[in-house]
Amino acid sequence: MDKDENRAQPAADHAAPLIRPWSRLGRQLVPLIGEGGFVALFTRSARLLSPPRAWLSVDATRRTSTLLLTALEQDLAAADPQEAAATHDELMGMFVRQLGALIGPTLTARLLSETGADGTPPKNQEEHKQ
């Protein structure tokens, strides 16, 4: 039983850091484009990437960002860590391109830098007030 628990733990460890940028992005975007807008962009991005990745679930009944990101975390945790990281990067890239087409590249870049989804640490809220 200990061996099974040890195998499950690393899977969860590699998925958690991959979900953080999505959570920050969701918190930033949902007030701007709505829950439905975020869900639509995410679902479309996942659909475009899922054919060669049968393990990446795409379920149209998940109508909230929380449900989508919970499913994504489970999918990434069950996948090989390298494949999970590569899929995360491709999914984020696809999402960002679609978001850029919707709201423009300048606003997209600004939102990504504010959330840290572009790989930089999220900006401090105090910096925004100045």
* DSSP codes, 41-84: HHHHHHHHH-TT-TTS---TT--SHHHHHHHHHHHHHHS-HHHH
Take residue 127 and report the two structure tokens written for it. Answer: 């910096």
Does 126 map to a domain?
A: no
Position 130 in a domain:
no
Exposed e or buried b for every residue in 98-121, given b needs 16+ CB within 10 A? Answer: bbeeebeeeebeebbebbbbbeee
Q: CA 44 to CA 54: how far, in whole Å? A: 15
Q: Within a domain: residue 74?
A: yes
> What is the count of structural domains for the chain?
1
pLDDT tens digits for range 93-106: 999 999 999 889 99
Residue 127 in any domain: the answer is: no
Rounded average pLDDT over 44-53 = 88
Q: pTM of the predicted model, to two decimals?
A: 0.76
What pLDDT score does 88 carry?
94
Return d(Cα 65, Cα 33) in angstroms, integer.
12
pLDDT in tens, 59-114: 878 889 899 999 999 999 999 999 999 999 999 999 999 999 988 999 888 888 87
Residue 104 lies in a domain: yes
Give the domain extent around 18. 2-121
